[in-house]
């Protein structure tokens, strides 16, 4: 059996079990943005946090120091039929609970952050999965990992009725994958999957797996090796100069000593070899209303007809509103230019101001985050900030699609002008360009003016003029559903009569923020799934795709299922509560 006890592999939980753990805010101040005069660690993903923290722990842990159903094809509205009911994608048999003497239980039950691609009746669903993490004792009071595979996937060959689950293979000579999944498929039905991982020395990588059928996957090919890499995303489409050949593109954030850069890589041989470079490196700006040195959440997409490449991302400021920007390339990534949104009141013509969604909270070991939540304030938050046991982190990753030169963009935005306002709601905003991103419509609201918060949109174009935007909806009682708004006029409007509820059961948030203070670290907290960062539950994005006809496939993180905490003297919470899984729904437009 192979044990891991080296310096540069990924794991967050180890840090939660040691007193005196430092947050990114304390160790890397150049990666920060200022919100409400506080250093807000709104940048690093759960996967990257895990990578950083396990490198500090050496890969080991020490013992604790203290104790629904729809009919097969239901006519849900006049416009849409549901093909079957919600289907759980991840195999529940892979979830495990581990108990060791002297340790609190380890619940490997979190599946979240979904990305989906399809080719005919073949569908591949990808997601983060703590079920791929496994611990073994190495000596009394010490545990080590004999498996660290956070990048999970499930494949269906029958249009989403049944699924087979597994974990993506790491790079040759390496043993670990760190998650942040993104998948796409080329015109020949070849799938390409991007994730964070480790190289043979454990250094963080951006890497890509390839599959001819969605069932069998090659070892990952390393695109870039740098412990600063995070939040990668993949896109596939024709080379503008060789339209008979598909290029594969990956973008990601690279954190440096002076901030963050937007990096870009291209493969012209089906993912075998890659060329990469920085395409945007922001500099210090004395104006807090304008973009600072930090960016993230890039989301590239390719126009399958023209080969044009579009890369939206979030550029952070030191004021309430951050900025959505987009780079465009008409020559396969050789050169880029800015899209001009010309939004009134924006600091420049190339940006869309948006206030991020959620309540600004103190997540303890998870840093300061914007979250949605249920329940009352636990109290004791630093700087007077609230803390909520049932929370999930929110980000702003723009959703984008492009068809025949028409570009569609959607994002979540707070209803308050103030970052982290606990009284705020949120909406899904949408705008469109009919001329390859040169000029844009006025933003409109996608969701009906009901409920509390709407967040993490995903978008697809299922046929000419039909635009679908899925998103989470938090109701006023705190429960959560997944809804999908639909436009049959190419995004001119999204009537409330065309909004459908995708979830057959509403969900509640699991306990992701559990105080476990020590004298050395009074702010120490833990997720119920202790391998996952506090305040993470549903992940940072969901996914929507179509076959560009009448079929739409939706994939999301879901916490409707329950788990009962094991009876253990070291357990810090008791009883039954929600856990996270991944659910799928197929729909068909009439």
pLDDT tens-digit readout, 328-371: 999 999 999 999 999 999 999 999 999 999 999 999 999 999 99
- Find all residues with CB under 8 Å of 37, minimum gap 6, and list them: none
What pLDDT is attached to residue 542? 98
Is the CB of residue 559 less than 8 Å from the CB of residue 512? no
Is the CB of residue 113 less than 8 Å from the CB of residue 127? yes
- The tokens of 430 are what? 């949408």
- Find all residues with CB under 8 Å of 139, minimum gap 6, and list them: none
Whole-number Å distance between alpha carbons of 406 and 294:
29
* 514-534 per-position pLDDT tens digit: 999 999 999 999 999 998 999
Average pLDDT over residues 229-233: 97
For residue 5, tell me if it sits in a domain. no
Q: State the DSSP code for 22.
A: P
Whole-number Å distance between alpha carbons of 381 and 392:
16
For residue 2, tell me if it sits in a domain. no
Q: What are phi and psi of 364, to 5 degrees?
A: 65, -120
For residue 533, tell me if it sits in a domain. yes
Q: Return the half-sphere exposure (C-beta side, CA atoms, 13 A cut-off) of residue 59.
A: 23
What pLDDT is attached to residue 558? 98
Q: Is the pLDDT of residue 62 over 80?
A: no
Is the CB of residue 134 less than 8 Å from the CB of residue 147? yes
Q: pTM value?
A: 0.92
Rounded to 5°, angle at Cα 380 from 387 and 473: 10
Whole-number Å distance between alpha carbons of 427 and 424:
10
* 133-143 per-position pLDDT tens digit: 999 999 988 99
Total structural domains in the chain?
1
The length of the chain in residues reads 590
Q: State the DSSP code for 141.
A: T
Neighbour tally for 317: CB within 10 Å:
23
* 431-477 per-position pLDDT tens digit: 999 999 999 999 999 999 988 899 999 999 987 779 999 999 999 99
For residue 6, tell me if it sits in a domain. no
Whole-number Å distance between alpha carbons of 53 and 358:
26
- The tokens of 150 are what? 């956070």
Q: What is the span of the domain harbouring residue 319?
A: 13-67+74-349+357-589
Torsion of CA 187, 330, 261, 312, to 10 degrees: -70
Whole-number Å distance between alpha carbons of 459 and 478:
24
Strand order in the sheet with 164-167: 111-119, 122-129, 151-156, 164-167
Q: Is the pLDDT of residue 10 over 50?
A: no
Rounded to 5°, angle at Cα 29 from 26 and 31: 120
The full 3-state SS of 197-224, as one line of letters, equals: EECCCCCEEEEEEEECCCCCECCEEEEE
Burial class of residue 576 in the structure, from the number of CB atoms within 10 Å of its CB (0-12 exposed, 13-18 middle, 19+ buried): exposed
Q: What are phi and psi of 234, to 5 degrees?
A: -120, 150
Write out the H or E segment, with its range, that includes residue 54: helix 46-57
What pLDDT is attached to residue 40? 65
What pLDDT is attached to residue 547? 78
Whole-number Å distance between alpha carbons of 350 and 490:
24
CATH number for the domain that contains residue 30: 2.120.10.10
Q: Is the pLDDT of residue 25 over 80?
A: no
- Find all residues with CB under 8 Å of 506, minimum gap 6, and list them: 475, 479, 480, 481, 560
Average pLDDT over residues 251-259: 94
What pLDDT is attached to residue 215? 96
* Torsion sign over Cα 172, 177, 180, 184: positive
Q: State the DSSP code for 376.
A: -
- Mean pLDDT for all residues in the chain: 89
Q: Give the residues across from 567 on adjacent strands.
A: none
Is the CB of residue 555 less than 8 Å from the CB of residue 114? yes
For residue 400, tell me if it sits in a domain. yes
What pLDDT is attached to residue 141? 87
Average pLDDT over residues 408-427: 96
- The tokens of 188 are what? 């020949």
Strand order in the sheet with 359-362: 359-362, 368-374, 390-393
Least Cα distance to 71 among 80, 82, 61 occurs for: 82
For residue 1, tell me if it sits in a domain. no
What pLDDT is attached to residue 76? 52
For residue 7, tell me if it sits in a domain. no
Whole-number Å distance between alpha carbons of 504 and 222:
40
Percent of the residues in the chain that have a pLDDT greater than 70, as a whole number: 87
Q: What are phi and psi of 408, to 5 degrees?
A: -120, 135
Is the CB of residue 414 less than 8 Å from the CB of residue 394? no
What pLDDT is attached to residue 502? 98
pLDDT band at 69 (very low <50, low <70, confident <90, very high): very low
Whole-number Å distance between alpha carbons of 392 and 358:
10
Measured in whole angstroms, the distance separating CA 76 from the mean position of its chain's CA atoms is 29
Is the CB of residue 296 less than 8 Å from the CB of residue 287? no
Least Cα distance to 485 among 87, 85, 77, 120 occurs for: 77
50 three-state secondary structure:
helix
pLDDT band at 55 (very low <50, low <70, confident <90, very high): low
Whole-number Å distance between alpha carbons of 529 and 510:
10
Q: Which residue has the tokens 């480790």?
A: 198
Name the residue with higher pLDDT: 30 or 176: 176
Is the CB of residue 259 less than 8 Å from the CB of residue 292? yes
Average pLDDT over residues 237-266: 96
Question: Which CA distances in Å does 468 have to 349, 408, 471, 485, 583?
Answer: 27, 10, 10, 6, 18
Q: Is the pLDDT of residue 28 over 80?
A: no
What pLDDT is attached to residue 72? 47
Q: Is the pLDDT of residue 549 over 80?
A: no
Q: Give the residues across from 125 on adjacent strands.
A: 116, 154
């Amino acid at each position: 059996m192979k044990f891991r006890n080296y310096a540069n592999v990924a794991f967050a939980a180890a840090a939660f079990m040691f007193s005196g753990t430092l947050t990114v805010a304390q160790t890397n101040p150049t990666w920060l943005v200022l919100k409400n005069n506080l250093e807000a660690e709104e940048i690093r993903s759960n996967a990257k946090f895990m990578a950083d923290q396990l490198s500090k722990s050496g890969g080991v842990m020490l013992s604790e120091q203290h104790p629904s159903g729809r009919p097969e094809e239901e006519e849900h509205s006049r416009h849409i039929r549901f093909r079957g009911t919600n289907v759980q994608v991840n195999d529940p048999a892979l979830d495990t609970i581990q108990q060791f003497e002297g340790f609190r239980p380890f619940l490997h039950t979190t599946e979240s952050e979904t990305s989906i691609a399809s080719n005919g009746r073949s569908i591949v669903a990808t997601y983060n999965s703590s079920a791929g993490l496994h611990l073994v004792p190495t000596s009394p009071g010490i545990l080590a990992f004999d498996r660290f595979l956070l990048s999970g996937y499930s494949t269906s060959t029958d249009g989403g009725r049944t699924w087979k689950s597994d974990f993506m293979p790491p790079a040759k000579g390496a043993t670990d994958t760190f998650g942040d999944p993104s998948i796409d498929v080329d015109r020949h039905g070849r799938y390409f999957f991007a994730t964070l991982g480790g190289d043979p020395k454990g250094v963080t990588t951006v890497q890509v797996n390839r599959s001819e059928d969605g069932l069998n996957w090659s070892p990952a090919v390393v695109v870039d090796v740098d412990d600063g890499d995070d939040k990668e995303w993949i896109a596939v489409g024709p080379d503008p100069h060789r339209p008979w050949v598909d290029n594969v593109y990956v973008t990601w954030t690279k954190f440096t000593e002076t901030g963050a850069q937007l990096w870009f890589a291209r493969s012209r041989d089906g993912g075998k070899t890659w060329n990469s470079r920085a395409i945007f490196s922001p500099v210090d700006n004395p104006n807090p209303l304008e973009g600072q040195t930090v960016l993230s959440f890039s989301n590239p997409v390719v126009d399958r007809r023209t080969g044009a490449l579009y890369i939206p991302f979030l550029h952070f400021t030191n004021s309430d509103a951050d900025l959505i920007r987009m780079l465009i390339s008409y020559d396969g990534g050789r050169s880029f230019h800015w899209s001009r949104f010309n939004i009134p009141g924006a600091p420049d013509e190339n940006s869309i101001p948006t206030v991020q969604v959620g309540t600004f909270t103190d997540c303890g070991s998870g840093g300061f985050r914007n979250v949605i939540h249920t329940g009352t304030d636990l109290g004791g938050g630093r700087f007077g900030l609230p803390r909520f046991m049932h929370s999930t982190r929110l980000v702003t990753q723009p959703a984008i699609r492009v068809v025949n030169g028409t570009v569609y963009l959607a994002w979540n935005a707070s209803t308050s002008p103030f970052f982290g306002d606990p009284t705020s709601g949120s909406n899904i905003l949408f705008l469109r360009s009919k001329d390859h991103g040169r000029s844009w419509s006025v933003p409109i609201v996608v969701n009906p003016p009901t409920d509390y918060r709407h967040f993490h949109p995903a978008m697809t174009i299922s046929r000419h003029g039909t635009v679908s935007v899925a998103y989470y909806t938090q109701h006023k009682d705190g429960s959560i559903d997944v809804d999908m708004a639909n436009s049959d006029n190419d995004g001119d409007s999204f009537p409330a009569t065309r909004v459908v509820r995708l979830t057959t059961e509403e969900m509640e948030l699991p306990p992701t923020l559990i105080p476990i203070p020590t004298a050395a670290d009074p702010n120490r907290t833990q997720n119920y799934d202790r391998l996952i960062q506090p305040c993470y539950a549903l992940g940072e994005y969901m996914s929507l795709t179509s076959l560009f006809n009448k079929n739409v496939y939706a994939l999301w993180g879901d916490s409707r299922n329950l788990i009962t905490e094991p009876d253990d003297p070291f357990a810090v919470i008791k009883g039954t509560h929600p856990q996270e899984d991944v659910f799928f729904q197929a729909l068909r437009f009439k």
